[in-house]
Each structure stands twice: as structure tokens, then as C-alpha cells.
């Protein structure tokens, strides 16, 4: 027998043991829970699978089971089904990382009284365990009453009146002829206040029409009402019940018609016998879990899951009715500064206040969602014109611009809004979100604190928008790659450095070089995000080289003028290096000569900061500029890189490459390192070596290769350091 006999169960109850079974396929989780419960005086058993749990439940009596849902083989729901079918008198609390609404609802339906999401708080867990043990004792106490009822008919009336369920009888007119005592605790009515009254006294108007026939059920057998949810009103004059702040409670109703035969042998309806179990707390638990599954816990706004559902509804309605709707994607400007300077607690409070202000600007049918971090999305259904969307956008911007008072801090904030109208900006959820996102970034590029319609951007050039969108998704989908080209000592042919170069593995156009996309990346300002990604990727690769025991070499990183213009460029660059615990002196930033001519004073300060930290600075493509070279005396440059076009002029027909010679003399006079790029043959190599170039790079030694190929190249001939053997 899977179920122990009732006498054995009652013996366990009398012993009042606190036996807990923990079921989880993760051993570390089992041991941590075991230690926590044992410290608090509980007796604990462990099961690493659903099958092992069922075996232990067959062999031992437990008061509480802490159950994971996701396990190989027999999962948590199947264990719950076994417990339910075996009618084991124990309580079950689910502790799981599985938070889908369906799984949680199924667990509660199968008898779990609580749901704790991993990772859990110890205090929350201990409270749940204590409640489970108490529920077990209450449940088993009721079992004792059930046994007593079987032993003596005399106790029948006692059990009914002490049942947790509301039990009632109606006559044929629907008037109460019997109610048990629990009605006072549940609904606040004295028994005598209901006897002789029509049952409609208790029915809540919310569902009076459909519940009328269930509460006064006249059917019998399988056709009778079972487990029907009804709402009943509490007594408005009862202070104790009103203190629960409930005007109604949810009950699970079962009722059956009562008949007797008359003298002619025909059935005569006498009335209804029914019982109603209070499931208000269970419904609240289900609602709470449902709310958590579909809402952001910080702001209580809909999350992406719910927002996607509302979007799908908006699409369906728009296609049926022909009405348009709008999607607004919002990003809080400079929010990272608040988190970095005032802390994440302050940042969280700001997000709550911002969401409240935005909500105050909206209609009841609009949906505001926290998309993640400091990003919000807003769905405006049934929009008749652009002007109405603009009005909402301006209202939101004005509300957020008002100062925020948070913990004695006065904060001034702003938003960047991108607007996509259906169907102009997209006819699917993905394209509409993408269009709104692109429009929002346009606002960021234009100075923030404003809004932009995606359709307005299309008027500025669809090719640019398409390229920008492709680049945005390339960053999201990791289509960019970092290649490396060796920098070689011309005297020893040993690799002394690598230049990191960006490539784009386009899904349709193949491998693209910076000349194919750099202009668009800079104009759209996406180069800032791409540059941040590239630096992290470079650091990851350098760390891998170190772990392989390879020699320390210098890494050159190309920096765009748009990146240099960012106020926090130096801080972000240094912070990334520190995150990977890499020495600063292995990095060299390469800046084009044209970049130096934009914001010379500010650029000098940033270069000084990099130099002070240990990062060296090189001028790339030197010699192609057309302005005064006086900046070389005013900005602390370490290295000049001779442009490949001048190196290309070195051949047997031009024995005197005067420009190259002049650059070499200038570098020597300013005590700078000299690097030649674009070296393709031995003649050019000999020439630049005689000029005093400390490093060279070019196709003579190899083109830029993938990170994996670069690693293989670095590992070649390790005894003398990675080097090349050139023909004589």
C-alpha cells in the first residue's frame, strides 16, 4: 500500500516531528538547504530525483516537502501528482527557477501551498517552512476529526461546524435552513442572521446571474455542481471581517439537489446541500505569481512578455478595424551617471519615479512597459494622427524634465523617444520595435531630450537607415570580428606587436572592411558602441594569449574621432582594461591625423590622461593631413606611422623617397618611434629599416588574420619568440 493506515498517520501527528524532505537534482542546492533547516531544528532528508522522492515518500512519513519542478526523469509535477493520488497528509512548497505561469499554476492546482523562486532568501524560506509545518498540523488535525466522525455519529454535527468549509442547506425556495458555525469566521454573519434568509443575501453582484443556479443546485449525481468558483459578500457590519479589507471572498462551491419520493413515488425537490471552501488566499497567490510573471518587480509595469501580448492584440485590432497605433521606445538620458555616482538604490528609485510620471501622462488603454535597465516602451492603440502621438511625447518629455527630489538630491532628467507608427514603420512586432529603437538612437545622436518619428528618418535617406539598422543588429548578433595584423622588428623579424582591426561578417555581403561601413558607423554614432565591444573583445584575446604563456607584445587599437569626442571616453577605456586586469603599457591607441585637427585642446587633455595611465599614443596614416604640424609639439605623441601610400612609392625607380625621408627626420628630431605600414617587398623593408623604423607591418609579413589564426601565429617558434623567416 502506498498510503499508510490512518492509525499510523495519527501516531506521527502525536509525535509532532518536523520531518522535511528536500527534492532537487542539484547537489549543492540540496546541501545548502539541508544545512539551513538543520540549524533551525528540522529533521531533513534528501532526494536527488523524482523517483527517489517517491520511494522515500512510500517508506517514511514527512510533514513537508520542498520540491524543485525541473528534474530529469520524473519531474516535480509528477511527484505532486503522486502525492495527490496517494492522498499523503503532507504539505508541499515549490522551490524552483522555473517561473512560467503555466508551471506555477499547475503546481498550485496539484496542491502546492507556496512557490519560492530561486535564488531564495533564507528568511523567506524559513517562514514558508514554518507555515508548511503549521498547515500540516492543521490538516492532520482535521484528519483526526474525520476519523472521529467515522467512529461516532454523535460527532458528525461537531465536525460540520468545525469544518474549514462553509456548509449550508437551502429549502426549495432557496432559503437557508442550516449553516455551520464557520460562516461567522469566514463571512462575518451570525448563524441566526442567515437562517430564514434567501441565499441571494450572500451572492456578490459581480457574478450573481451565473452563480444563482449553482448555489441553489437542483441536479444530482455527476451533473451536480463541483468546484465552481463563486464570489460571496462579507457582512459589512462585522468589524473583524472588515479588518481583512475584503468586500468579497472567493469560494470553491460544490452543491447537490436533495429529493424524496412522495406518496405517488415521484421525486420531490426538497432543497440544496452545499459546501463552499474559501480559496481567496489561493487565488491571491495565483494572481501574485501571475503578476510577477508578467510585470517588472521594480516598477510594477508590464514586462516584455506582457507587452508582446499587448502588441499582438494591437496588431490584430488594427488589421480588423483599420485603425493605426504607435509604439514609442524611450531611453533615460545619462542614467548611468546616476547609478555610478549615487548608487543603484538611488537609480532604482529614480526609475520608479520616472515610470510614475510617464503613467500620469497616459490613457487607461495605453500600455507602458519597462523594457530593461533604463529603457521603456509605450504602446498607444487607436491613434488617429501623428499630432496626437506628438502631443503625448511632448507631455511625457515635459513631465520628466521637472526636477526630481530623491533623498535630499535634486535631479534633472530627460528622455530620448523614438516613435514608430503602424503600418508605416513596420507591420510586425519585431520591425516596429526595431524602427522605434533606431528613431530613438537618432534622438540620442541629435543631442538627446526629444523625440523623432521613424518615418522622418526615412525621408533623410533609406540607404543610410538600412545600413544603420544592419549595423545595429550586427552588434547585437555578434557579426563583428576583431582581426590582428603583426607588427615586426625589421632587424630580427620577431613579432613585437599586433594591430587590432575591425571586420564585419555580413550575412549577405560577406566579410566587410572598415572602409565599407566606418562612415555610417561614425555618422550614426554607433561607432561608440562598436568600439566598446571591440576593446572588450581585444582584452579577452590578450588575456587568452597570456594564459597560453605567450610573450608580452604591444596591441594597437584604432580609435575614431567620434569616440574621442565622448566625454567619458578615457574613463571607459581605462575601466575596461582594469576589468580584465591587463597592464596599460601593452596598449597603444592609434588616432588618425585628421582626428587631431578636431577639438585640439580637449583632445590633448584626453591623450595626456591616457599617457599618464601608461597607454601610448600613435598618429596613424601620418603625412596625409593638410594642416600645420605644430600639434606634434603640443600633444604628447609616442609614435608616428608612415602612411602606406608613401611606402608604396619606394621602388627601384624612386631611390630617393623624399617624403618618407622627411617624416623619418621629423620623428627622430621629436624623439618619436617610427612605424612603417604597407611594406610589401624586401626593397621597401631595407629602405625603412635604414631610415630607423623600429616596427614595420604589411603583406610582406602577412595580412590581418582572425583571432584564432593570430594565436597560432604567435605560438610558432616560441624559443626565439614569434618570428618570420624571409627569403634572401
Q: Are residues 28 and 75 in the same domain?
A: yes
pLDDT tens column, 399-457: 999 999 888 888 889 999 999 999 888 888 888 988 898 888 888 877 889 999 987 65
Does 185 map to a domain? yes
More confident residue, 102 or 123: 123
State the chain's mean pLDDT as an integer: 83
What distance in Å separates the CA atoms of residue 684 and residue 490, rounded to the nearest whole number? 11
Contact at 8 Å (CB) between 654 and 661? Answer: no
- Residue 533: is its pLDDT beyond 90? yes
Predicted local distance difference test score (pLDDT) of residue 662: 79
Cell numbers 473583524: residue: 240
What distance in Å separates the CA atoms of residue 594 and residue 620, rounded to the nearest whole number? 9
Residue by residue, DSSP assigns 297-358 as TTT--B-HHHHHHHHHHHHHHHHHH--EEEEEEEEETTHHHHHHHH-HHHHHHHHHHHHHHH
**For residue 564, what is the domain's CATH number?**
3.20.20.450
What distance in Å separates the CA atoms of residue 92 and residue 114, rounded to the nearest whole number? 8
Q: Which of 286, 318, 353 is the last residue of a domain?
A: 286
More confident residue, 627 or 331: 331
Q: Which of 286, 310, 335 is the last residue of a domain?
A: 286
What distance in Å separates the CA atoms of residue 129 and residue 114, rounded to the nearest whole number? 10
Q: Are residues 179 and 248 in the same domain?
A: yes
Q: Are residues 60 and 89 in the same domain?
A: yes
pLDDT tens column, 169-226: 889 888 898 888 888 878 888 888 888 888 888 887 766 666 777 777 778 877 777 7
Does 465 map to a domain? no
More confident residue, 585 or 658: 585
Does 656 map to a domain? yes
In 10 A of CB 38, how many CB atoms? 12
Q: Are residues 508 and 447 in the same domain?
A: no
Predicted local distance difference test score (pLDDT) of residue 458: 52
- Residue 463: is its pLDDT beyond 80? no
Q: What's the rounded mean pLDDT across residues 538-543?
A: 95
Q: Map residue 385 onto helix, strand or coil.
A: coil
DSSP tag of 25: S
Cell numbers that stand for 6 in this block: 490512518
Residue 679: Cβ-neighbour burial (10 angstroms; 0-12, 13-18, 19+)? buried
Q: Are residues 673 and 537 in the same domain?
A: yes
Q: What's the rounded mean pLDDT across residues 666-687?
A: 86
Does 158 map to a domain? no
Residue 386: Cβ-neighbour burial (10 angstroms; 0-12, 13-18, 19+)? middle
What distance in Å separates the CA atoms of residue 504 and residue 502, rounded to the nearest whole number? 7
177-191, 354-368, 504-518: which is most confident: 354-368
| Percentage of the residues of the chain whose pLDDT score is greater than 90 | 29
Q: Are residues 270 and 175 in the same domain?
A: yes
Does 728 map to a domain? no
Longest Cα separation, the chain? 133
Q: What's the rounded mean pLDDT across residues 638-650?
A: 83
Q: How far apart are the first and last CA of the chain?
A: 91
Q: Are residues 147 and 190 in the same domain?
A: no
- Partner residues linked to 674 by β-bridges: 640
More confident residue, 602 or 125: 125
- Residue 11: is its pLDDT beyond 50? no
Name the residue among 322, 505, 495, 354 with its Cα closest to residue 423. Answer: 322
DSSP tag of 723: B
- Residue 121: is its pLDDT beyond 90? no
Q: What's the rounded mean pLDDT across residues 132-160?
A: 71
**For residue 33, what is the domain's CATH number?**
3.40.50.2300
What distance in Å separates the CA atoms of residue 527 and residue 569, rounded to the nearest whole number? 12
Q: Are residues 600 and 681 in the same domain?
A: yes
- Which distant-in-sequence residues (6+ apart) come within 8 Å of 19 by Cβ? 42, 43, 44, 45, 60, 61, 62, 63, 64
Q: Are residues 596 and 659 in the same domain?
A: yes
Does 724 map to a domain? no
Q: Quote the number of domains for the chain.
A: 4
Judged by average pLDDT, the poorest of 9-23, 338-352, 613-627 is: 9-23
What distance in Å separates the CA atoms of residue 491 and residue 470, rounded to the nearest whole number? 44
Does 456 map to a domain? yes
Phi, psi of 576 (to 5 degrees): -65, -45
What distance in Å separates the CA atoms of residue 548 and residue 711, rounded to the nearest whole number? 9
Does 634 map to a domain? yes
The domain containing residue 278 runs over which residues?
163-286
DSSP tag of 360: T
Strands 695-697 and 673-677: parallel
What distance in Å separates the CA atoms of residue 708 and residue 720, rounded to the nearest whole number? 21
- Residue 566: is its pLDDT beyond 50? yes
- Residue 553: is its pLDDT beyond 80? yes
Q: Are residues 249 and 306 in the same domain?
A: no
| Percentage of the residues of the chain whose pLDDT score is greater than 70 | 86
Q: What's the rounded mean pLDDT across residues 705-718?
A: 84
Q: Are residues 425 and 395 in the same domain?
A: yes
- Residue 158: is its pLDDT beyond 70? no
Name the residue among 33, 77, 30 with its Cα closest to residue 54. Answer: 77
Predicted local distance difference test score (pLDDT) of residue 8: 40
**For residue 217, what is the domain's CATH number?**
3.30.450.20
pLDDT tens column, 71-84: 888 998 999 999 98
What value, to the nearest 5°, has the Cα angle with vertex 81 and ends 76 and 86? 125
Q: Which of 414, 429, 460 is the last residue of a domain?
A: 460
- Which distant-in-sequence residues (6+ apart) come within 8 Å of 511 by Cβ? 503, 504, 505
Judged by average pLDDT, the poorest of 47-56, 231-240, 256-265, 518-527 is: 231-240
Contact at 8 Å (CB) between 23 and 68? Answer: yes
Q: Are residues 706 and 558 in the same domain?
A: yes
Cell numbers that stand for 495 in this block: 613579432
**For residue 304, what is the domain's CATH number?**
3.30.70.270
Amino acid at each position: 500500500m502506498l498510503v499508510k493506515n490512518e492509525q499510523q498517520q495519527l501516531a506521527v501527528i502525536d509525535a509532532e516531528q518536523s520531518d522535511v524532505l528536500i527534492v532537487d537534482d542539484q547537489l549543492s542546492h540540496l546541501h545548502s538547504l539541508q544545512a539551513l533547516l538543520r540549524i533551525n531544528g528540522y529533521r531533513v532528508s534528501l532526494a536527488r530525483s523524482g523517483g527517489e522522492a517517491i520511494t522515500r515518500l512510500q517508506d517514511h512519513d514527512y510533514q513537508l516537502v520542498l520540491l524543485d519542478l525541473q528534474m530529469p526523469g520524473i519531474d516535480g509535477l509528477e511527484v505532486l501528482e503522486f502525492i495527490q493520488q496517494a492522498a499523503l497528509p503532507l504539505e508541499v512548497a515549490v522551490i524552483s527557477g522555473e517561473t512560467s505561469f503555466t508551471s506555477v499554476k499547475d503546481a498550485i492546482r496539484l496542491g502546492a501551498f507556496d512557490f519560492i523562486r530561486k535564488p531564495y532568501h533564507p528568511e523567506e524560506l524559513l517562514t514558508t517552512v514554518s507555515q508548511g509545518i503549521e498547515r500540516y498540523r492543521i490538516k492532520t488535525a482535521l484528519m483526526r476529526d474525520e476519523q472521529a466522525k467515522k467512529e461516532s455519529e454523535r460527532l458528525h454535527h461537531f465536525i460540520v461546524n468545525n469544518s474549514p468549509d462553509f456548509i449550508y442547506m437551502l429549502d426549495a425556495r432557496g432559503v437557508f435552513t442550516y449553516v455551520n458555525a464557520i460562516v461567522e469566521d469566514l463571512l462575518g454573519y451570525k448563524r441566526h442572521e442567515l437562517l430564514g434568509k434567501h441565499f441571494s443575501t450572500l451572492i456578490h453582484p459581480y457574478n450573481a446571474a451565473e452563480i444563482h443556479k449553482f448555489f441553489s443546485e437542483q441536479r444530482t449525481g455527476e451533473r451536480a455542481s463541483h468546484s465552481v468558483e463563486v464570489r460571496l459578500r462579507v457582512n459589512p457590519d462585522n468589524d473583524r471581517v472588515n479588518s481583512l479589507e475584503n468586500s468579497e471572498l472567493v469560494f470553491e462551491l460544490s452543491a447537490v439537489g436533495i429529493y424524496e419520493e412522495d406518496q405517488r413515488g415521484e421525486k420531490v425537490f426538497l432543497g440544496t446541500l452545499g459546501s463552499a471552501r474559501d480559496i481567496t488566499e489561493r487565488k491571491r497567490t495565483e494572481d501574485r505569481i501571475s503578476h510577477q510573471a508578467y510585470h517588472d518587480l521594480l516598477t510594477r509595469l508590464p514586462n516584455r512578455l506582457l507587452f508582446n501580448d499587448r502588441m499582438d492584440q494591437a496588431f490584430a485590432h488594427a488589421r480588423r478595424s483599420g485603425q493605426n497605433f504607435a509604439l514609442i521606445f524611450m531611453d533615460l538620458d545619462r542614467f548611468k551617471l546616476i547609478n555610478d555616482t549615487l548608487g543603484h538604490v538611488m537609480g532604482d528609485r529614480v526609475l520608479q519615479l520616472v515610470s510614475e510620471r510617464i503613467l500620469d501622462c497616459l490613457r487607461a488603454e495605453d500600455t507602458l512597459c519597462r523594457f530593461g535597465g533604463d529603457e521603456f516602451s509605450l504602446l498607444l492603440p487607436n491613434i488617429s494622427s501623428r499630432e496626437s502621438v506628438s502631443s503625448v511625447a511632448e507631455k511625457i518629455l515635459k513631465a520628466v524634465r521637472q526636477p526630481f527630489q530623491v533623498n535630499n538630491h535634486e535631479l534633472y532628467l530627460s528622455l530620448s523617444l523614438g516613435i514608430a507608427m503602424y503600418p508605416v514603420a513596420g507591420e510586425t512586432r519585431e520591425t516596429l520595435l526595431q524602427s522605434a529603437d533606431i528613431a530613438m538612437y537618432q534622438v540620442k545622436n541629435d543631442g538627446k531630450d526629444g523625440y523623432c518619428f521613424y518615418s522622418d528618418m526615412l525621408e533623410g535617406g533609406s540607404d543610410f537607415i538600412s545600413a544603420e539598422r544592419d549595423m545595429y543588429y550586427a552588434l547585437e548578433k555578434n557579426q563583428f570580428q576583431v582581426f590582428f595584423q603583426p607588427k615586426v622588428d625589421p632587424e630580427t623579424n620577431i613579432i613585437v606587436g599586433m594591430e587590432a582591426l575591425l571586420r564585419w561578417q555580413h550575412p549577405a555581403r560577406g566579410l566587410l572592411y572598415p572602409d565599407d561601413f566606418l562612415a555610417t558607423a561614425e555618422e550614426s554614432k554607433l561607432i561608440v558602441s562598436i568600439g566598446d565591444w571591440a576593446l572588450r573583445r581585444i582584452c579577452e584575446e590578450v588575456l587568452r594569449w597570456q594564459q597560453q604563456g605567450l610573450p608580452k607584445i604591444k596591441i594597437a587599437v584604432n580609435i575614431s574621432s567620434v569616440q574621442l569626442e565622448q566625454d567619458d571616453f578615457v574613463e571607459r577605456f581605462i575601466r575596461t582594461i582594469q576589468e580584465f586586469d591587463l597592464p596599460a603599457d601593452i596598449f597603444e591607441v592609434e588616432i588618425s591625423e585628421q582626428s587631431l585637427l578636431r577639438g585640439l585642446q580637449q583632445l590633448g587633455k584626453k591623450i595626456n590622461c591616457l599617457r599618464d595611465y601608461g597607454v601610448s599614443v600613435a598618429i596613424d596614416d601620418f603625412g596625409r593631413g593638410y594642416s600645420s604640424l605644430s600639434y606634434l609639439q603640443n600633444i604628447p605623441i609616442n609614435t608616428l606611422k608612415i602612411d602606406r601610400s608613401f611606402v608604396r612609392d619606394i621602388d627601384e625607380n624612386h631611390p630617393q623617397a623624399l617624403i618618407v625621408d622627411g617624416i623619418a627626420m621629423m620623428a627622430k628630431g621629436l624623439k618619436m618611434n617610427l612605424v612603417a605600414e604597407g611594406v610589401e617587398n624586401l626593397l621597401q623593408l631595407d629602405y625603412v629599416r635604414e631610415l630607423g623604423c623600429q616596427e614595420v607591418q604589411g603583406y610582406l609579413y602577412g595580412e590581418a588574420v582572425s583571432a584564432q589564426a593570430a594565436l597560432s601565429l604567435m605560438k610558432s617558434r616560441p624559443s626565439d619568440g614569434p618570428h618570420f623567416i624571409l627569403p634572401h
